[in-house]
Amino acid sequence: MTFIPNSEKKQQMLKTLKLKDIDELFSDIPKKIQITNLNLPTGISEQKVEHKLKDIAKQNTPFQQMPSFIGGGIKPHYIPAIVKSIILRPEFYTSYTPYQSEASQGFLQAMFEYQSMIAELTGMDIANASLYDGMTALGEAALMSSRINKKNKFIIPENISWEKKSILHNFVKGHDITIKEIPFEDASGKIALHALKEVLDESVSGVYIENPNFFGVFEDDVNAISKMTHELGSLFIVGVDPLSLGIVKSPSEYNADIVIGESRVFGNPMDFGGSSLGLFACKKEFLRQIPGRVIGLTKDCNDKQSYCMTLQTREQHIRRGRATSNICTNEGLCTLAATVYLSWLGGSGFQKLSQINYNQGEKLGGKIANINGFSLRFTSSNFNEFVVQCPKPGKIINEALLKADIIGGLSLDKWFPKLKNCMLFGITEMHTEEDINKLVDGLKEVA
C-alpha cells in the first residue's frame, strides 16, 4: 500500500490535544503497571529488514523448482496479474464490511457480481457473498438442512476429507444432530448406493455428496441419489470443485437443494493453507435460512441503480438468538479476487481451463498407470485428481521423490485403511510436460 508520511500530522494532532508528546496520551495509566521494556531487539533500517526477509524467503523452494503433485483439494493455479492489480487498490484493499452501503457501492457491486457468477456456475437460484471456506460451508449446510425440515440425522459419504468430517462434527455439537457415514465402493471409489438406501429414512435432514469426490472420482449416480433423498423429504447437498463446472453438469441439473465448495481456485493463492473462500448457493425457497450475507440490487432515492446488504441474519444484527449463523465476516478480498479472475477468464476461457485440468489428469494418470508396479486404484472417471495403487508405502515413495525435488502424492492409508499403499495425486494447468516427465521418471526409479 502507498506510504503516507505522518510526522507533520502527528505534531498537529498533539498540538490540538494540547499534549507535549505521545507519552502524555497514557498518563492515566498508573506507573506501576506501565511496561517499560518489551525486550525487543534494536530496530534496524527498512533496507536491512528487506534484506533479512529475502534471506528468510530463500529457505522456500518455489513450485517451478519443486513441482507439487499432492492431491487433496489445494493445488497451484495460475493467477493473472490483473487480479492483484485490482484487489490491491486502496479502496478495495481496505474494505471490510460494507455497513454504510452509500459509501461502499463499488465493493457491494463486486460482491453482487460474485454471487451472480456462482449462481450461474452452480445453476442455483441464489448464492451468498461467501463463507470462510468449503469445510465450514459443510457445517453450515448441515445446520441449515436441520432448520428447514426439523430433522436430526445428516448423512455424509466416507470418501470426503477427514478435516471436513472433523469440522462438521464440531459444527453440529449442541444441535442434537447425528452424523451418519456411508462407505464407498471398493472398485469405483463412488458412494455405495445400497448402503445409502439402508440408512435413508424420514429422520434424515440432508444427504451430502461430493462431485467429484475426495478421490477425484465423478459420482455418476447423482440422479438416483437425488431421487432417493427427495422421496423422504430430505435435502440434497452437493459439494463441488467449482473449476470442474466448466465441463460437467451443474448441480441444479440433478436437483441439488444446496451447493457448497471451495472457491479458492478462482484467483486466490495457496499461501500456506489460507485464505480460503467458501462457496454457498441454494434454491430460492431457502433464502431466509442461508448463512452469511446476500447482496441485492435496488434503486436509491434518485431512482438510480444501487446495491445494499439485502440479508444479513447473523447474531450481531436483528436476528440475534434466531440468527442463521454466527459467522461475523466474509472473505471479502478473496471474493473480489474470484470476481476479477472469472471476469478475466470469461465463459469460453473458463470452459477451456476446466478442460485443460481434466486432460492433465487423464494424461498423468495414464503415464503413471504404465509404470511397472503402479496402477489407478479406481475404475471411474476423474477430474484433476486420482488415486494410485503403489508398490511401496507412500512415505517411502515421497521420501525418494523429495530427493529428486518433487513433491509426490498424498498418502491415504492413515485416513482410509482400505487404501493401503495408495496415494492421491493432483495436477493443474500449472504443471508442464517437463514436470510430468520428472515425476514419472522419479516413480520409475522408486519402483
Based on its alpha-carbon atoms, the radius of gyration of the chain, rounded to whole angstroms, reads 25
pLDDT 10s digits, 310-340:
887 654 555 566 777 766 666 888 999 999 9
- pLDDT per residue as tens digits for the range 64-111: 899 999 999 889 999 999 999 999 998 888 776 677 777 789 899 999
Which overall architecture, per CATH, does domain 81-338 show? 3-Layer(aba) Sandwich (3.40)
DSSP-derived 3-state class of residue 17: coil
Which residues, listed in sequence order, are joined to residue 294 by a DSSP beta bridge? 311
Q: How many other CB atoms are found less than 10 A from the CB of residue 303?
A: 7
pLDDT number for residue 312: 74
Chain position carrying cell 534484506? 51
- pLDDT given at position 390: 97
Q: Compute the 3-state secondary structure of the chain and give helix, strand, coil in percent, each to the nearest 5.
A: 45, 15, 40
Sequence spans of domains, the chain: 81-338, 342-446
Per residue in 267-315, pLDDT (tens digit) is 999 887 667 999 999 999 999 899 988 999 999 889 999 998 888 765 4
The confidence band for 394, taking pLDDT boundaries of 50, 70 and 90, is: very high
pLDDT at 4 over 90: no
Residues 111-141 have pLDDT tens digits of 999 999 999 999 999 999 989 899 999 999 9
Q: How far apart are CA 215 and CA 157, in angstroms?
A: 12
Q: Measured between alpha carbons, how far is 251 from 238 in angstroms, rounded to an integer? A: 7
CATH code 3.30.1950.10 for 342-446? no
**pLDDT, mean of residues 217-232:** 96
Contact 258, 145 (CB under 8 A): yes
- Whole-Å CA distances, 369 to 315, 359, 427: 52, 15, 15
Mean pLDDT value across residues 9-21: 89
DSSP 282: E
pLDDT value at residue 240: 97
User: What are 213's three cell numbers?
Assistant: 469426490
Q: What are phi and psi of 411, to 5 degrees?
A: -70, 130
Residues 6 or more apart whose CB falls under 8 angstroms from that of 139 comprise: 167, 168, 170, 171, 172
Q: What is the mean pLDDT of residues 353-380?
A: 96
Q: 412 and 397 in contact (C-beta within 8 Å)?
A: no
pLDDT for 442 equals 96
Region 382-403 average pLDDT = 96
State the pairing for strand pair 204-210/410-411: unpaired
**Cβ neighbours of residue 113 under 8 Å, at least 6 residues apart?**
339, 343
Looking up cell 485428481, which residue turns up?
385
In 3-state terms, what secondary structure has residue 381?
Answer: coil
